[in-house]
Structure 1
Amino acid sequence: MNLLQKVLHHPFFIRLFNWEYWSFGTVYTPVIPIWLWYCLRARSFFFFSASNPSIENGGFLMESKKKIYDLIPEAYYPKTIYVELPADPQNVVNQVKNKGLQYPLIAKPDIGARGMGVRKLNQPEDLQRYCLESPLAFLVQEYADLPLEAGIFYCRLPGEKKGRITGIVTKEFLTVYGDGRHTIRELCQQDKRFILQLTALEKMHGDKLNEVLPSGIAKELVPYGNHARGAKFIDDSHRASPALEMQIDKILQQVTGFYYGRMDIRFRSWEELEQGLHFSIIELNGAGSEPTHMYDPRHSIFFAWKEIIRHWDWCYRISKINHRKGIPYMSFRDGRKMFRENAQFEKTIAQLYI
């Protein structure tokens, strides 16, 4: 690797020259005047709270994943249990067994923060350890062992008979392919996306990163489709066929009071998803959802700003109609409280979780 390559593979320059790794503030600050314009038109800084009346804060911040799952038909998402603190490890193991959950499992905080605290549990001992380490109420659910994962953004104006898909992102998990010569760590050091995850991968895998994979053998290093955990996001919005849109609309119209947000879903094939077959909803996100298809490396920051504003417009229009129907906007006092609580929550969770 020559000097220029070494410079371009330094984390600072990776972030500098690839906008998808910029901080939230860096990406969003230039378009804040547009957001303030919507606030002025709505006469509320927190109009978004009316976008999804059945979800806390409209699903913008600090919403409970359990309460959202409770809105979804059980057949559509993995078997799940909710664990409050203090969590007795053996009792939780017994709950898992009694409910018929099968390993591997996924554990995650009930209130999410960019994928932090999400872990794959392969055996009861892993679950017991998570119970002892988790400082927050959490969910345990079966791992949806389906080969494809996508985030599908959905919008429906209140009163409309049919909603629409406004974006689709598919996800490539952080996976290395062996060459029979280099260790996993060395393979990671050759790819910019992996370099930014090395610290977290060291914590997750330790000495296993010194393993040399046989040629052609793949190893998935992070089993979560989260951008902050290294997944590559690909814009597949062109897959929004009439058949797929009909199925997604059919599914989400069964979630009372849901009009705006992104559904993260695992499934076996696009053809079967169009028929409503072999899928599992991993998460349903509300007003705080990003149009994550914008993070496709092929897109520019200007494309991202266009998509952000386009979806803000949907959120504004939906919230305005719900408000006219009697759904109140969050008060300024409650909105400030929500942001303060979220700031403290993110500070805490960042110190405790990978």
Structure 2
Amino acid sequence: MSAAMPPLDPAPPLSRFEFWSPGLFYLPVWGWAVWLALRHRGVRLPLVANPGLPASGLVGESKSLVLGKAGAEAKKWIAPFTTVMRDGLAPSDAAADALVALDRAGLALPVVAKPDLGCRGAGVRPVRTKIELADYLAGFPLGQTIILQQLVDVEGEAGVFYVREPGTEHGQIFSLTLKHFPHVTGDGLSTLRELISRDPRAGQLPHLYLPRHKARLDQIVPDGERVRLAFAGSHSRGAIFRDGSRHITEALERRFDAIARDIPEFWFGRFDVRFADFEAFRRGEDFTIVEVNGAGAEATHIWDSRMRLRDAYRTLFRQFGMLWAIGAANRRRGFRPEPWRTFLERWMAERRLISIYPPTA
């Protein structure tokens, strides 16, 4: 039987820039973006990189709308989902209505609950019972939409960054990131807090792991029990990323080319996928897409702790260069970006909501 993921190879626990503040880390990239805007004579060109998506998926896009754009071929690979609005009902009543919505969509608990508008894993949590569903709804902002998606509870996860320039026949996988979920293993003597503090990586990031496990931090973990420290496959939420570029195959590239081409006017973005068999995934088989990210996506292999800072910037400079080039090509095809005011409203709404979503698992 094949493994869900390649073994997590030895590497430094953290790179020296992995958890710099985004404002500091991205300073050189914003400088490069200014040069690209001047070169291509358009600061808003990223907003037409994916004309089929609101603001090209750069910021503030509806996840359900993006997934709903998929055609019949692409939809076969996407985890089924439905959406519910957080209204003013009591959490228990809202949970009952959500269960009805799941049933109508042919779904049932367990599911993954996540905000329809969000990024970087904000507010993502597995929901296995009606009580957990009610708890999630209780902490969700009123008037906002929640995605309830089939839980794909397997160990394998990857981010597949796809790019195709308009006018070319086929696209390419620009980046492949393998996402490992950190665990600690009990010895029958130590509490979960102690196990986390002794872990080479988790011990340096207690702010990511301790709050979400506060209910059992001081309990002794039985000998041999593995405790998963993070559920969401987001680096900023505690997942461990590895550069998977050497695992890209022609079959995998052909598969994602076919999927991307079945999403209208989708040229640039990342597919987040889960799978139980890594070799099957490399053959372009037996995986499930859980999210599609547009122009705001990142080539996340840069967060591999072995990555050198200059190589991370080289990757991001290439990524942004392709983003502007695709936007320029789509401008020549007649597409025009949305007004600045609309873009800024999307950005401000996303920033506000992320700060008040329920805690990420």
Q: Distance in 2 between matches of 1:43 and 1:218?
A: 54
The AA in structure 1 aligned to 2:351 is: E
Determine whether 1:111 maps to 2:117.
Answer: yes
Pair 1:314-2:312 in alignment: no
Match of residue 102, structure 2, among 96, 100, 105:
96
**Which residue in 1 is equivalent to 2:66?**
68
CA distance in 2, matches of 1:297, 1:202: 21
- How much does 1:25 deviate? 1.2
TM-score normalised by the chain length of structure 2 = 0.87
Find out whether 1:166 has 2:174 as its counterpart: yes
Q: TM-score, normalised by structure 1?
A: 0.89
- What residue number does 2:358 align with? 353
Q: Any gaps of 5 or more consecutive residues in structure 1?
A: 1-13
Extract unaligned runs of 5+ from structure 2.
Answer: 1-11, 89-93
Matches within 5 A, 1:273-352: 273-330=281-338, 334-339=339-344, 341-352=346-357
1:76 is paired with a residue whose SS is coil
- Give, in whole Å, the separation in 2 of the partners of 1:329 and 1:156: 19
Partners of 2:158 and 2:266 lie apart in 1 by 19
Q: Distance in 1 between matches of 2:290 and 2:150?
A: 10
Contact 1:44 1:329 in 2 (8 A): no
Which stretch of structure 1 is more off in the superposition, 288-297 or 114-123? 114-123
**Whole-Å separation in 1 of the counterparts to 2:281 and 2:261:** 16
Cα distance in 2 between the residues matched to 1:206 and 1:22: 25
Contact 1:89 1:132 in 2 (8 A): no
Q: 1:234 and 2:254 equivalent? A: no
* Structure 2 residue aligned with 1:124: 130
- Contact 1:197 1:229 (8 Å CA) reproduced: no
User: Which runs of structure 2 are paired with 1:28-107 in the superposition (5 Å)?
Assistant: 28-72=26-70, 73-86=74-87, 88-107=94-113
Q: Distance in 1 between matches of 2:204 and 2:268?
A: 32
Q: Evaluate the alpha carbon distance shift between residue 300 and residue 225 of structure 1 in structure 2; reply closer, same or farther with a 3 A threshold.
A: same
Residue deviations 1:321-348, cap 9 Å, x none?
1110111134xxx335523542453244
1:128 CA drift (Å) = 2.1
Query: Is contact 2:15-2:305 (8 Å) kept?
Result: no
Bigger Cα displacement from structure 2, 235-244 vs 84-93: 84-93
Distance 1:144 1:15 in 2: 28
Q: For residues 164 and 261 of structure 1, do their structure 2 counterparts lie closer, same or farther at Cα, with a shift above 3 Å needed? A: same
Alignment RMSD = 2.2
Contact in 1 for aligned 2:209/2:238 (Cα 8 Å): no
Cα 1:17–1:156 shift into 2, 3 Å? closer
Closer, same or farther: CA 170–274 of 1 in aligned 2, 3 Å: closer
Letter in 1 for 2:344: F
Structure 1 residue 209: Cα displacement: 1.7
The Cα of 1:196 is off from its aligned counterpart by 5.7
In structure 2, the partner of 1:5 is none
Which segment drifts farther, 202-211 or 251-260? 202-211
1:286-306: CA deviations, max 9, x gaps? Answer: 111111001100011111100
In the TM superposition, residue 352 of structure 1 has moved relative to its aligned partner by: 4.1
Structure 2 distance, partners of 1:211, 1:86, is: 37
Inter-CA distance 343–18: structure 2 relative to 1 (3 Å threshold) = farther
Write the deviation string for residues 239-293 of structure 1: whole angstroms up to 9, x where unpaired. Answer: 1111211112122211111110111111122332244432110111111111100
* Identity across matched positions, percent: 31
Q: Structure 1 residues 267, 84: CA separation in 2 closer, same or farther (over 3 Å shift)?
A: same
* Aligned-residue offset at 1:197: 5.0
Task: Say how many residue pairs are matched.
Answer: 338
For the residue of structure 2 that corresponds to 1:153, the secondary structure is: strand
Instruction: Give the C-alpha shift of residue 230 in structure 1.
Output: 0.4
Query: What is the CA distance between 1:56 and its match in structure 2?
Result: 0.7
* Distance (Å, rounded) in 2 between the aligned partners of 1:348 and 1:254: 31
